[in-house]
Every structure is written in structure tokens, then in C-alpha cells.
Structure 1
Amino acid sequence: MQPPSRRAFLTLGLLTLTACTGGHGSDPTAPGGDRRRPDPDEPVRLRAVAATDTLLAGYDALLPQAPQLQPLRAEVAQHRAALQPTTTTATTPTTAPTAPPPTLAALAALERQTAQSRLADLGAASPQLARLLASVSAAGVRHAVALGDTAPSPAPTATPTAPGETATPFQDALSAEHAAIYGYGVVGARLPDDQQRTDARTALAAHQSRRDAWQRLLAATGATPAAAAAGYQLPFPVTDAPAATRLAAHLETRLTTVYADLVAAVPAPHRTAAADALRECALRAHHWGAAPTAFPGLPDTSTPTPAPTP
């Protein structure tokens, strides 16, 4: 294995994102002209849309008394549009079969339950739909937290031994964790000795644990885990506490992209572990002040993608 270079880049966005195309479409060459190919993702999409309709009904019931929920409701509507089946006529929102949640606490619990249900379908989805479901699930947990949910996050899913063909995606995730661990060393050194520094230590420990998990997984397959570089180039100068918190948000945001890609790149048995990592990074990014997004880890098509640092 080639030894790591002395300097590597901390900009974790160097991994190329694959655009989420959503599915097949009409086949104009088929007999009959406008016949559509069956979409194997359609059952998963329909279940996801039905669950989203229940969430929308809950938000709509509470909006008159809590208009501050509108931004979260708008994100849920974006989720519905993205999850809509691509080979059938667009479905209209349906009335939830049960009464809408009457309280913020009930809506928060529903957001968390729905987020968990997205993960239950990861194995039945195509790689790109699994990536979308994992992202939407991470957003749903963030919504639950914003609504006041304090339930502990589920324990990380045990990662099964990876077959050899998945080694490269996990090596990429391991390399990203090495960079994040280095970055958190810088973050902790620039924060005051208060709750923020404690939070940075907790985040560092979480990334060290995830690094160790990927190393064990790779070693179990006979692969040599990627080693950390001696140093990493920071995306901007970090000389004070505000810059340190921006760096922490940057690290976690970049890792959401890494883990969204990992969900799509590995076989079904490994997707839940990758989605767990995506959720954790999305929550930490939000904690450090990253701008909220409806689709953690997925590209924002509203802004141009910056070119990688040479």
C-alpha cells in the first residue's frame, strides 16, 4: 500500500456525488408508444409517500397555533416530492388514516418514528433511492429534535463483515474519518474550556469510534485499512472560537456527503450502518450551526458546486 502523503486535503467534498435520478421513465420505443417500464422502487416509494402524508397532516393540524413550524413543514413537502413514484401519475396528498397529532410532542414522536421507518426500507430500495431515504431519515430526526424530542438516538447498527467488493467505499469513509479526527483536534484547541469544548470531545470520541469500526470491518476482509495522513490542510484559517465552530460544522457537513454516498455504494446489509453515520453527522452539523437542509448529504442543486482545491 502506498504510504500517505505528508499533506492531504481536509475538504471532504472531493468524493464525487452521483446525481439522484429517481428511476426509469417512459419508454417511447415500446409497443403502444407511452408504456412505462415497471419501477421496482414503486412499492417503497408509495410507502414512503403515505408516511409523509401522515406527517403533513400533523403539521397542517398544528400550523394555525404554531406558525413557526412552516419551515419544517416545507421540508417535509420537499421530501414528498422527491419520494414520489416516477412511473405513475403523481399522487395527491391523502388524509391520514389516524387523527393528526394534537401536540408538538406527538408530532416530534411521529417524526422520529417515520425517520426510523425509512431505514426499514433501505434493503428493498435501489442504491439511489436508499441514499435518498437515508437522507430524508436524517432530516426527520433533526425535525424531531427541533420539535423538542429528547429520546436517545438508537444504538448504532452493528456492521456485518463486508465482502471484498465493498472495500473501496469503506476505505473512503475511513479516510474521511481520519481527516475529521485531525480537524477536531484543531477545533478543541481553539474552543474555551466550557460546554463547547466538551461537545467537541464528545464528537471526537464518536469519530474515533466510527474510525475503529471501519478499520475492524476492513481488516476482517483481509484489506489493509487506510492510514491517517501526517497532516491535513484546513479549508480556512482557524484562529479563534467562532472559526473553530465553523470548522466543526464544515467537518460534519462534509461527512454527511461521504455517508450518503456510502449508503448507495454498499450492499443492502451495510446500508443501515452507513445511514446511522449520516444521521449522527447531520445532527452534529446542526448542533455546530450548519444551515439546515431538507436533504442532508445530497447536493444542493440551487447553488454551484465549488471546484476541489488542487
Structure 2
Amino acid sequence: MQPPSRRTILTLGLLLTTGTPLAACTSGPGDAPGTPARDPRRPDPDEPVRLRAVAATDLLLAGYDALLPQAPQLQALRTEVAQHRAALQPTTTTPPTTPTAPAGTAPTTLAALATLERRTAQSRLADLGAASPQLARLLASVSTAGVLHAVALGDPAPSAAPSTTSTPAPGEPAAPFQDALSAEHAAIYGYGVVGARLPDDQKRTDARTALAAHQSHRDAWQRLLTAAGATPAAAAPGYQLPFPVTDAPTATRLAAHLETSLTTVYADLVAAVPAPQRPLAADALRESALRAHHWGATPTPFPGFPNTPTPPPTPTP
């Protein structure tokens, strides 16, 4: 298994046992937080993928620049897109390239920019199989950020479309799939607490919908592991919450916390699994990021990349 740069120990704020934590890697100036620094003296095997990603990002930047004079509120999103470009920049011995006039036509309306963000986000996933594990993780994160940008610009949130995935070949490590399953067990427990503290209104309905989605992911990981000849991890008898949940505001905060933490689980999973299974992990990353946004989580330019290491969890007594 290719180890992620900052291995999530299923830090949902719920305490359970998983794999051994790995040391955080150092980021280079052109990388997302937590990615290993690239050596500019070595050829970059990801350069073709990076160049395609940068070209698509340049078109987005052109669209933002065209609309900024009449819509200055776009500056925050434009800044994130520029951060994406810097992280996707190929490694070379020469100075990084500067944005150039893109070949495509830049959007001239907010609606067109939202559509471009959504289409660009989808196109980034097409290169998941051709990228190295760490670049695949970054592409999935940047794609997710693009979907969130599209939503912020008025594009309707995409519905969850189930992905198909192959069963792990005999001999492939099951640990990353077990980690994802254990994370879903913890999220299901957490949403049980969330639903119990919300009034019987739309928020409780949304919590039920999220719970059903996590149960579906749990069932999918169990089937995948069973088909691969592994015994799926069982849910723990109980989990310790990261903070007291006593009312609707703290329940909403817990839901946002659960989904934000799951984005890290699934970003790590993109880097940990073989290429045919990366789209499934990337879709789960996007779904959790959209739910985190719905529950009021603070957006970040790189969903799934934690800013600081989190302490390893422990089982409840």
C-alpha cells in the first residue's frame, strides 16, 4: 500500500483503534499541505497529468479574472484556484510557469463559471488512474474543491452517483478498505447521536439522509472486503464523542465534524488503493465534503488535507 502523507487514524473525533500512525511528510512550496516534497532535480513522471491539470486551472483563472471587476466577492474563490495551480505545477529545474492565455473560451457570467468549475472538477477525476498515488489524492481534493466552488457560484449540488469498483486482487492489502469501513461505523454511531439531538424538522430529515448514505457506504465496504476474502471489521461497542452533544447546535457541529474528518479518510484512501478503485474513494470524498458544507463546516482549499496532525484515537473503556 502506498502510505498517505499524513495517515488518518480515523480521526472522526470518535475513539477507536485502527492502523499505526505514520509521520507527517514535509510539503514543498508547490504542494498541498501534507504532501511529500518533490525533488526538482528528478524527472517528474506525473508531468503530463500535471500539465493538463494546470491548463484547466488557467482557464478557470481567466474566468475569475474576467468577472472580478463586477463581482469582487469572487476573490476568495479565485485565491483558492490559484493555490490549486501552485500545487499542481509540474516539478522542473526551471522556475514555475506563469498562467498563460488559455486555449478555451473563458466564461463571462457567474452561471457559466459555475458550469466550468463543475466540468473541470469532473475532468480532473479522469486522470486519477494515470497519476501517482499522492497526485491522485491531490487531484481528488482539488476536484472536490471545484464542486464546492460550483455550488457557491449557484450550481446545484450534484447528486451522489454510485461508482463501480473492482474487487481487490488476492494479496492486495485490505487495511485501507478496513479503515474506511471502521470510519463509516464511527460515522453511523455519530449520526445516531446527531439525530437524537435535532428537532423533528428538516435538519433531522437531513441527518437521516446522511445516516442512510453512510450505511450504504458501510455495506459497500463490507461486500468488497468479503469478496476479497477478508473479514470486515466490526463496529466498536461504543465511541467517545469529541465534545458534549446536548442540543441542536452541538449536534449540527458534530455532523460537520464527522463529515470533515471523513474527507481526510477518503482523500487518504484515494492514495492508498489501486487505480481502479480510486474513483469510488474520490466520490466518497466529494459526498462528505458536500455534506460538511451543508452542516456549516468552514471550507478549505484542499478538502481532505488536514492542516495539522491529529492525535491518535483510543478505544473507549
One-letter amino acid of the structure 2 residue matched with residue 49 of structure 1: V
User: Counterparts of 2:293 and 2:201 in 1: how far apart (Å)?
Assistant: 19
Residue ranges of structure 1 left out of the alignment (5+ in a row): 1-7, 27-36
Is the 8 Å Cα contact of residues 118 and 137 (structure 1) preserved in structure 2? Answer: yes
Say if 1:11 and 1:154 are closer, same or farther in 2 by CA, change over 3 A: same
Aligned residue number for residue 38 of structure 2: 23
User: Superposition pairs for residues 163-178 of structure 1, below 5 Å?
Assistant: 163=169, 164-178=171-185
How far the C-alpha of 1:94 sits from its partner, in A, is 1.1
How far the C-alpha of 1:88 sits from its partner, in A, is 4.6
Percent identity among equivalent residues?
A: 79
The alignment's TM-score, normalised by the length of structure 2, stands at 0.87
User: Counterparts of 2:80 and 2:181 in 1: how far apart (Å)?
Assistant: 31
One-letter amino acid of the structure 1 residue matched with residue 74 of structure 2: L
The runs of at least 4 aligned residues of structure 1 exceeding 4 Å deviation read 11-18
User: Superposition pairs for residues 176-255 of structure 1, below 5 Å?
Assistant: 176-255=183-262
Aligned residue number for residue 305 of structure 2: 298
Is the helix fraction higher in 1 or 2?
A: 1
How far the C-alpha of 1:38 sits from its partner, in A, is 1.9
1:126-182 deviation line (CA, Å, top 9, x unaligned): 000000000000100000111111263361211211124231100000000000000
User: Counterparts of 2:101 and 2:235 in 1: how far apart (Å)?
Assistant: 52
Is the 8 Å Cα contact of residues 16 and 236 (structure 2) preserved in structure 1? Answer: no
SS of 1:173's equivalent? Answer: helix
User: Superposition pairs for residues 2-151 of structure 1, below 5 Å?
Assistant: 10=14, 16=22, 19-26=34-41, 37-89=42-94, 90-150=96-156
Is the 8 Å Cα contact of residues 16 and 313 (structure 2) preserved in structure 1? Answer: no
Between 83-92 and 249-258, report the one with greater CA deviation. 83-92
CA RMSD of aligned residues (A): 1.9
SS of 2:239's equivalent? Answer: strand
Say if 1:208 and 1:297 are closer, same or farther in 2 by CA, change over 3 A: same
User: Counterparts of 2:174 and 2:167 in 1: how far apart (Å)?
Assistant: 10
Aligned residue number for residue 30 of structure 2: none
User: Counterparts of 2:313 and 2:286 in 1: how far apart (Å)?
Assistant: 27
Task: Work out which of the two has the higher radius of gyration on C-alpha atoms and give 1 or 2.
Answer: 1
Q: How many residues align?
A: 290
Is the 8 Å Cα contact of residues 12 and 258 (structure 1) preserved in structure 2? Answer: no
User: Counterparts of 1:214 and 1:143 in 2: how far apart (Å)?
Assistant: 29
User: Counterparts of 1:238 and 1:125 in 2: how far apart (Å)?
Assistant: 41
Say if 1:166 and 1:106 are closer, same or farther in 2 by CA, change over 3 A: farther
The alignment's TM-score, normalised by the length of structure 1, stands at 0.89
Say if 1:143 and 1:258 are closer, same or farther in 2 by CA, change over 3 A: same
